[in-house]
Amino acid sequence: MSTKPAAARNRNRLAALWGTQSLRRITQFGFLAMIVAGVVRHTLSEDSTSPEAVCPFGGLETLYSYFTTGGTISHTHLSNLVLLGAVVLLTLLARGAFCGWICPFGTIQEWVNSLSRWLQARIKPLGRAARALRRAARRPIFGTIDRVLSYGRYVVLATIIGGTVAYGSMVFRDYDPWSALISVAEFELTAGAVILGVVLLASLVVERPWCRYACPLGATIGLVGRLSPMRIQREDSACTGCTLCTHRCPMGIDVAASSEITDMRCISCLQCVDSCVHPEALDLRLSIPLTTK
């Protein structure tokens, strides 16, 4: 029997609602719901806004065309450019927050991984297999592979930008899993649909595989985010070295081994901060430039 009075339990629930992860999940759900509503509307009526018109990466793909010809390439509009601007501003202010708080594709990968963990906790053989896999993944060689594969994002980004400038069209569209997902009602087996399937399957065992290894928008955000004054700081004097933060990071960043989390893979989900048992050891802080200590 619980010894806590009901009023205290309700207060705790209210406090948890204002917790970082609750706020983040509510935000993620809101943006995903908007996209789902847009996809349904566009499927029912082609005259409604295409979900492609609200993809910030479309803005990056059409940027060169906009500055050189004043027009946008096929399937992109001014809205894509505005969203790209919004993402750049957000990244300058809040680092990787678009990936961790807004991006619907990141949210879907997170949910698939959460579903996998939920099943692992209830189906014992699955749980044992997953634990064995995680133990094997702690070998240094997998750390190196993870690190090397994470540069794949920049290769994808450079290929798309180069291809788009050279051909003046969305060269990535047929391979884009997000494009395949928002066109799911068309039931077409495209390369993008195959990649989408691979990403969703991989999400069962790896957190955010697309974000980690292939997302060109994530690569752009990582580069722009270097200029952001927002960062997670770790105080060595308060840190017990438990490495809970490192294990909780969905992007595989070794948080416990850094004094400032400025890694370009950081998606600002703040799960490391939330997992820390000493609130003063890990903290989200806003640096104020030109104010020396």
Partner 1 sequence: MATDPPRRQVAPTAQRRWRSLHMPAPLYAALVLAAFLGTIQLAQIAGFWSTSGKITLDGAPVEVTGADPAEVKGWMTISDVLGAYGLTQDELYTHYQIPADLPTSAALKDIEAIAPEFSVTDLRVWLAERAAQP
If binding is defined by CB under 8 A, does position 262 make contact with partner 1?
A: no
Of 110-118, 141-149, 192-200, 230-238, the window that binds partner 1 (rule: CB under 8 A) is 230-238
Encoded tokens for 70: 């004043």
Q: Nearest approach, Cβ of 196 to partner 1 (angstroms)?
A: 21
- Report yes or no: 173 and 52 within 8 Å, Cβ to Cβ: no
Residue 2 vs 237, nearer CB to partner 1: 237
If binding is defined by CB under 8 A, does position 288 make contact with partner 1?
A: yes
- Host H or E run for residue 233: strand 230-234
If binding is defined by CB under 8 A, does position 187 make contact with partner 1?
A: no
Contacts with 158 (C-beta within 8 Å, 6 or more apart), sequence order: none
At 102, phi and psi to the nearest 5? -120, -45
Q: Under rule CB under 8 A, which residues in 64-103 are in contact with partner 1?
A: 69, 71-72, 74, 77-79, 82-83, 85-87, 89-90, 93-94, 97-98, 101-102
Residue 4 vs 85, nearer CB to partner 1: 85
Q: Nearest approach, Cβ of 245 to partner 1 (angstroms)?
A: 10
If binding is defined by CB under 8 A, does position 116 make contact with partner 1?
A: no
Out of 2, 3, 45, 292, the only residue in the binding site for partner 1 (CB under 8 A) is 292
Q: Nearest approach, Cβ of 202 to partner 1 (angstroms)?
A: 27
Cα separation of 34 and 289, whole Å? 36
Strand-pairing partners, residue 230, are 286
- How close are the terminal C-alpha atoms of the chain, in Å? 52
Binding letters toward partner 1, positions 39-68, x by CB under 8 A = ----------xx--xx--------------
**Residues 82-95 as b or e (16 or more Cβ within 10 Å = b):** ebbeebbebbeebb
Q: Where are the alpha helices (DSSP H) in 138-242?
A: 140-150, 152-167, 177-182, 191-202, 209-213, 216-225
Q: Nearest Cα to 270, choosing from 33, 31, 96, 92? A: 96
Backbone conformation region of residue 208, classed left if phi is above 0, alpha if psi is from -120 to 50, else beta:
left
Out of 137, 243, 247, 248, the only residue in the binding site for partner 1 (CB under 8 A) is 243
Residue 105 vs 213, nearer CB to partner 1: 105
**Which residues contact partner 1 by CB under 8 A?**
18-20, 23-24, 27, 49-50, 53-54, 69, 71-72, 74, 77-79, 82-83, 85-87, 89-90, 93-94, 97-98, 101-102, 169, 230, 233-237, 239-243, 256-260, 270, 283-293
